[in-house]
Structures are given as structure tokens and as C-alpha cells.
Structure 1
Amino acid sequence: MLVGYARVSSVGQSLEVQLEALNAAGCEKVFAEKRSGTTTAGRSELADALSFVREGDVLVVTRLDRLARSANDLHSVVKKLTDKGVAFQCIQQSSIETSTSTGKLLLGVLASIAEFEADIRRERQREGIDRAKAAGIYKGRKPSVDVAAVRALREQGLGGSEIANQLGIGRASVYRALSG
């Protein structure tokens, strides 16, 4: 059985193109979610897909980065699949298929390239933020906690949980405001 997995990073993005490609590839069941791909943790549809597949099945994705953004995560998922007797196929990247030696080699090479690209993108983003900070343009996120209000309520004798409830913030934010 061909089982598809589709993922986009944010709610505003569309899964439509991936779903169409997976259906065109013959996937009988498709799991889809809108979650970040920086880690496999917290991706319930991926976990469901990995639980669903059985020996002889093939897990299909449109591109490698839809499954994992790091080589470690990708190899971990592929190992889980291999241990279950499930093959892996990527349709838009030279039809990578782990049932062949060449496919396994290509998977490793492309996973390394994908991780390299992600690292380069993070470095460029960090450089841009550092330049913007130096120029006084980038100030970071605006504070969401009114530190003065937190301290005033503490002086009135309220505890951390009471302050958090009254201001609609988390307790950890209260304690950070009090310590900072």
C-alpha cells in the first residue's frame, strides 16, 4: 500500500499541491499536517503515519524536507520504516526509494544537502538580524508583560498564580518579571 505524508510549516500555507501529487502517485491513505519541520517531535500526523504503515507498504512524500529538516531526523524516520519492512519514496527528488541501494545513497546525500541549506539560511538570518540590531532597526519582539503591573500586584501581597490569572499571563512570565 502507498501511504502519503504531507506537511507545511504554517497554518497560512496550503497542503493542496502536495495532496494532489500524493493522490496522483497512487497513495491510498494520506496523512497531512501544518506543523514546523524543524523536529519530528509533536508531529502527530507523522506519528500516526509511522504507526499505520505495515510491512510491504511504502511511505511517500513529495520532497525530503516535508518529512524532516535534519539528516538525523530523516535517518531516524527511515530507520523506523526499514525496521518495520516499509520502504520510503520521495517523488519530486529523483524518485528516491529506499528499497534500492542507489536510493539509500541518494537519500543520505540529499539529506546532508538539505541540512546544509537550512544551516546556511539560519546563518544568513542571524547575520541580517545582527546588522539590523547594530543599525538600531531591529529591536526584537515588543514586551508582552507589564513588569510594573506584576511588581505592583506582588507588593499588594498576591502570589505568582494570582498575578498570572489577573494579568492573563503565564506564571513563568510573572517570575521572570519579578527577577529581572
Structure 2
Amino acid sequence: MALIGFARVTSRQQDLEAQLEALNGADCSDIITSQKTGKTDNNAEQIEALITQAQKGDTVILTKLYRLGHSAHKVLVTLKALHDKGVAVKTLDGQIDTFSDDPTQKAMAQLLVIFADLERSSAADKSASNQEKKPKKGRKNKPLDQAHYAAVKKLSAEGTSISQLSKQFYVSRSEIEKVLDT
């Protein structure tokens, strides 16, 4: 009867460390991780690996239930597959323990999945809305001043390309070209 941890993050900016620390603290004998990096999203493969690895009597430990999938449907499908194998699922936040065959506990697990999906969707909507409102970090809205002119000319003379200068000073290539023409 093994304790198998499962940790998942959905973007490159997120970090698995907090989940891994919590799962190690729960004495998981093995931890399967899934992390979206760039164009690669191996969540489906890692969920399949989890289902394959887990054996009757094992318990899958999660920090939160929604770590099992991107939608309520995927979480429920995974829960069913694990339950059919005789594998329990527990969350470290104490909200889910599918080891029980109690109908109330099953209904509670399904409701929590739905609410977790709703919460995740709301958070994603808020995040997208906030991103639209934020100005880009590091962008200058001011034109280059005389000090910048000298720096641009010096760097150009040293071989820095117009594209590199444009990125470095957060201005368009044409702005750099104007500075170099003066």
C-alpha cells in the first residue's frame, strides 16, 4: 500500500516546489509531476502514468483536487479510473478522501471537483483581465534623452546591432536609426 504523490502546474511561470515539499512531508514513496513548459503539456501522459502505476490499496495524494486535470470532467474521469482499480485519492487540504464508499463522500467529491473547476476558471478570467490592464514591464513611454543618445551611438560603434539596441532601450528600430542619423 504505497502513497503516490501527484503534482501539477499549468504554466511555465508556476513552480512545483511548494507541492513537492507538501507531498514529501506526507511521506509519499513516489511523486509524479506534470508541468507545462512552452509548447509541451505532458499532463495527459503523466495522469496515464499515475493510473498505470497505482495499484489496488495504494493512495494517491494531491495538494488540491484540481491538480488531477484541466477540467471537472477530466478530474472525474481520473477519479473513476483510480477508484475502479481500488486506489484511494486524498487531498492534503482534507477535502477529499475517496477511500470511503459512502455515497455522501462520493457526492461531496464530485461537488468539490465542480467547485474547484469553477474557482480555477474564475481565477483564470481574473488573471486575463488583470493582464490586459497592466502595462508591459520595463517599457518606456518616453523618448530617448541626450544621455541615451550617447549610449546608443557608443554601443553602435562597438558593434551592437540596431535590433539589439532597440530591445535594450525599449524603443523601435526606427527610433534607434534616427538617433544614429543625428
CA distance in 2: counterparts of 1:21 and 1:12, whole angstroms: 19
Residue in 1 that maps onto 2:112? 110
Alpha-carbon distance in 2 for matches of 1:98, 1:46: 17
Which deviations, in whole Å up to 9, do the C-alpha atoms of 1:16-66 show, x marking residues without a partner?
111111111121010012139xxx975322221111000111111100121
Counterpart code for 1:99: F
Secondary structure of residue in 2 paired with 1:49:
helix
Matched position secondary structure for 1:7: strand
Task: Give the secondary-structure state (helix, strand or coil) at the position aligned to 1:116.
Answer: helix
Cα deviation, residue 123, structure 1: 5.5
Is 108-117 or 82-91 further displaced after alignment? 108-117
- TM-score normalised by length of structure 1: 0.60
Q: CA-atom RMSD, angstroms?
A: 2.7
Residue type of the alignment partner of 1:98: T
Report what 1:151 is aligned to.
Answer: none
Distance across 1 between alignment mates of 2:125 and 2:20: 32
1:64 pairs with 2:100: no
Query: What amino acid is the match of 1:116?
Result: L
Q: Is the 8 A contact 1:4 1:22 kept in 2?
A: yes
How is 1:30-179 mapped onto 2 (pairs within 5 angstroms)?
A: 30-35=31-36, 42-92=43-93, 94-100=94-100, 101=102, 102-121=104-123
Check the 8 A contact 2:66/2:117 in 1, yes or no: no
The SS at the match of 2:79 is: helix
Contact 1:69 1:114 in 2 (8 A): no
Superimposed CA distance per residue, residues 98-136 of structure 1 (whole angstroms, 9 cap, x where no aligned partner): 01224323211211112222444465578789x98xxxx
CA separation of 1:128 and 1:27: change in aligned 2, threshold 3 A: closer
Rounded Cα–Cα distance in structure 2 between residues aligned with 1:120 and 1:49:
28
> Whose radius of gyration is greater, 1 or 2?
2
State the alpha-carbon separation in 2 of the partners of residues 11 and 123 from structure 1.
18
Q: What is the one-letter code of the residue matched to 2:5?
A: G
Query: Across the two proteins, how many residue pairs are aligned to each other?
Result: 128
